């Protein structure tokens, strides 16, 4: 039986980073992947969804061009061609799905197949047994499917199938008002489907600052998306070829008919084929349990990326992959504690945040200062023709440092970088305000927020930071 210092299971962001990092210690490494290298992000997550969103944005922009002097007569729209654009982007970013991503050049053995533990030190792949001194579990997540009576029988799609549709369903019910549900929902709404977002909580985007979530709700509603909040689906049936959802919305019964159901109700660790019980690795709810050094309940088995929960982002998975490999082979193990995680939702306008929300800061007993700046006062936003949204900064007033930043607006995913740097380095808002920003530019909105006086909290929606 071949033996390796490290066997990495899963070739997504976490696994690839861990394998490459481990090789720098001169150890022997094998990486096992059952689908394509690159993982969910390249093939069914970040890249294809953002490409589809870009296509939907282009469709949507046609509505607006007459004010720039162009009258457009649309003679056709092709959902298939939008999907082809997405496929072309995935091919370009993901590369050849059959290549080994340079692993063998790096001295890493790449095995295509499904890994399953036989015992804590042995995995089987394609009927070959391999011995590992250490393992890294990096198998990511699968969609969490809520146990709704009739859902399975009626049929539903998840992010994977939603990216492979040949035809646009006329009416789509999206279960879940988180980033994935909203990104797909807005794109499909812009392609022409009638989209209803069904959210269990009292509002969408439960992890975002409340002002930002409320504005997002308002912007998306203004495009014609429907929302059912405080809603739970009691059962699904099929009648006359329609999917019929019976819901409780604000304690009243509600019936929604649709042609497709997209389930976006969260994720769960992808462990069903791993045989974790044979390895003696414990779970913590839906995810693999790890300590701060990313060790599972078996000290020689580590886990990194989405599989262990927390922030489910590619950049976090990659960070954890490196930490795990360094902790296995380095002399000084360090805890995995990314101080600042930029979190983006790619609806239009984009949402981006880093650090604490206002409520988190207040709940932690911090004397909290809030500074805001609406894009309707940004010269660049006015020139660009999109003044939706705002920048909201959160500061610790006693320590005079920035502890949170929340943006909804054009290019928010790029704008957040400056605030993330300031939070990471404990800088005061004045550090941003004292830095010269180019005129006219979107980052000036962050500078202007940092220059503004601290306010007592007034909900942004009441100040009418407008559509
Ligand atoms: C629709 C959607 C949109 C997203 N958009 C973004 C975004 O814009 N930005 C962002 O940062 N994040 C985004 N994410 C999240 C991002 O995709 C994940 O955080 C990231 O892919 C996690 O990387 P990972 O390495 O932990 O797992 P994965 O990327 O899931 O990789 C795990 C790999 O393990 C393989 N595997 C599973 N079981 C086995 C087994 N038993 N044997 C062998 N191989 C196995 C799988 O085939 C897979 O390739 C999105 C996710 C989704 C679903």
Distance from C-alpha of 13 to C-alpha of 419, rounded to nearest angstrom: 25
Cβ atoms within 10 Å of 106's Cβ, excluding its own: 16
**Predicted pLDDT of residue 384:** 96
Query: What is the H or E stretch that residue 33 is in?
Result: strand 29-33
**Distance from Cα 11 to the centre of ligand 1, integer Å:** 9
Question: Is there a cis peptide before residue 434, judged by omega within 30 degrees of 0?
Answer: no
Distance from C-alpha of 8 to C-alpha of 36, rounded to nearest angstrom: 14
Q: Tokens 């239009």 sit at which residue?
A: 348
Q: Tokens 């082809």 sit at which residue?
A: 84
**Predicted pLDDT of residue 301:** 98
Distance from C-alpha of 13 to C-alpha of 318, rounded to nearest angstrom: 5
Pocket test for ligand 1, best of 9, 21, 40 (most atoms within 8 A of CB): 40
Per CATH, the homologous superfamily of domain 151-265 is: FAD/NAD(P)-binding domain (3.50.50.60)
**Predicted pLDDT of residue 466:** 45
Distance from C-alpha of 442 to C-alpha of 110, rounded to nearest angstrom: 44
If you take atom 6 of ligand 1, which residue's CA is the nearest one? 46
**Predicted pLDDT of residue 229:** 97
If you take atom 47 of ligand 1, which residue's CA is the nearest one? 35
The per-residue pLDDT string of the chain (467 residues; one tens digit each, 9 = 90 and over) reads 999 999 999 999 999 999 999 999 999 999 999 999 999 999 999 999 999 999 999 999 998 899 999 999 999 999 999 999 999 999 999 888 888 989 999 999 999 999 999 999 999 999 999 999 999 999 999 999 999 999 999 999 999 999 999 999 999 999 999 999 999 999 999 999 999 999 999 999 999 999 999 999 999 999 999 999 999 999 999 999 999 999 999 999 999 999 999 999 999 999 999 999 999 999 999 999 999 999 999 999 999 999 999 999 999 999 999 999 999 999 999 999 888 999 999 999 999 999 999 999 999 999 999 999 999 999 999 999 999 999 999 999 999 999 999 999 999 999 999 999 999 999 999 999 999 999 999 999 999 999 987 776 555 555 554 43
Per CATH, the homologous superfamily of domain 343-456 is: FAD/NAD-linked reductase, C-terminal dimerisation domain (3.30.390.30)
Pocket test for ligand 1, best of 39, 109, 135, 281 (most atoms within 8 A of CB): 39
Pocket test for ligand 1, best of 19, 30, 41 (most atoms within 8 A of CB): 41
**Ligand 1 pocket by C-beta < 6 Å: which residues?**
9-15, 32-35, 39-41, 45-46, 49-50, 114-115, 138-140, 159, 180, 270, 273-274, 305-307, 312-315, 317, 346
- pTM for the predicted model, two decimal places: 0.96
Query: Which residues, listed in sequence order, are joined to residue 245 by a DSSP beta bridge?
Result: 236, 256
Among the atoms of ligand 1, which is closest to the Cα of residue 36? 49
Question: Where do the domains of the chain lie?
Answer: 2-37+99-142+268-329, 151-265, 343-456
Cβ atoms within 10 Å of 356's Cβ, excluding its own: 22
If you take atom 53 of ligand 1, which residue's CA is the nearest one? 45
Distance from C-alpha of 135 to C-alpha of 31, rounded to nearest angstrom: 10
**Distance from Cα 24 to the centre of ligand 1, integer Å:** 24
Could you tell me how many helices (H) and strands (E) the chain has, helices first? 16, 23
**Predicted pLDDT of residue 457:** 59
Per CATH, the homologous superfamily of domain 2-37+99-142+268-329 is: FAD/NAD(P)-binding domain (3.50.50.60)
Pocket test for ligand 1, best of 20, 139, 158 (most atoms within 8 A of CB): 139
């Amino acid at each position: 039986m071949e033996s390796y210092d490290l066997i990495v299971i899963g070739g997504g962001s976490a696994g690839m980073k861990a394998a490459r990092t481990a090789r720098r210690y001169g150890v022997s490494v094998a990486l096992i992947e059952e689908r394509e290298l690159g993982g969910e992000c390249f093939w069914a997550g970040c890249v294809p969804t953002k490409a589809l969103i870009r296509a939907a944005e282009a469709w949507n922009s046609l509505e607006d061009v007459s004010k720039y002097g162009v009258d457009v007569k649309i003679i056709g729209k092709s959902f298939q061609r939008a999907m082809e654009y997405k496929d072309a982007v995935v091919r370009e970013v993901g590369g050849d799905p059959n290549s080994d991503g340079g692993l063998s050049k790096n001295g890493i053995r790449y095995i295509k197949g499904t890994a399953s533990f036989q015992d804590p030190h042995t995995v089987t792949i394609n009927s070959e047994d391999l011995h590992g001194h250490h393992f890294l579990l990096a198998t990511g997540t699968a969609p969490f499917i809520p146990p709704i009576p009739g859902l399975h029988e009626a049929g539903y799609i998840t992010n994977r199938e939603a990216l492979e549709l040949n035809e646009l369903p006329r009416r789509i019910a999206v279960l879940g008002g988180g980033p994935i549900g909203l990104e797909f929902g807005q794109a499909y709404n812009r392609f022409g489907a009638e989209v209803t977002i069904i959210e269990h909580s009292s509002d969408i985007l439960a992890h975002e600052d409340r002002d930002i979530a409320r504005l997002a709700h308002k912007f998306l509603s203004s495009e014609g998306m429907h929302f059912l909040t405080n809603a739970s689906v009691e059962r699904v049936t099929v009648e006359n070829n329609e999917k019929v959802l019976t819901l409780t919305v604000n304690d009243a019964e509600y019936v929604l008919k649709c042609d497709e159901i997209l389930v976006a109700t969260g994720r769960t660790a992808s462990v069903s084929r791993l045989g974790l019980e044979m390895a003696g690795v414990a779970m913590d709810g839906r995810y693999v349990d790890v300590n701060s050094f990313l060790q599972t309940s078996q000290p020689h088995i580590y886990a990194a990326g989405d599989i262990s929960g927390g922030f489910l982002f590619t950049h976090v998975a990659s960070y954890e992959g490196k930490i795990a490999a360094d902790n296995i082979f380095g002399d000084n193990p360090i805890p995995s504690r990314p101080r600042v995680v930029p979190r983006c939702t790619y609806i239009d306008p984009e949402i981006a945040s880093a650090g604490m929300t206002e409520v988190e800061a207040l709940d932690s007993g911090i004397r909290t200062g809030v500074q805001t700046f609406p894009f309707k006062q940004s010269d660049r936003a006015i020139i660009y023709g999109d003044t939706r949204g705002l920048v909201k900064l959160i500061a610790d007033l006693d320590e005079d440092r920035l502890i949170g930043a929340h943006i909804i607006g054009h290019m928010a995913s790029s704008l957040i970088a400056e605030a993330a740097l300031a939070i990471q380095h404990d800088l005061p808002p004045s550090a941003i305000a004292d830095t010269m920003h180019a005129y006219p530019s979107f980052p000036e909105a962050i500078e202007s927020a940092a220059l503004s006086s601290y306010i007592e909290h007034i909900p942004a929606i009441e100040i009418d930071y407008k559509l």
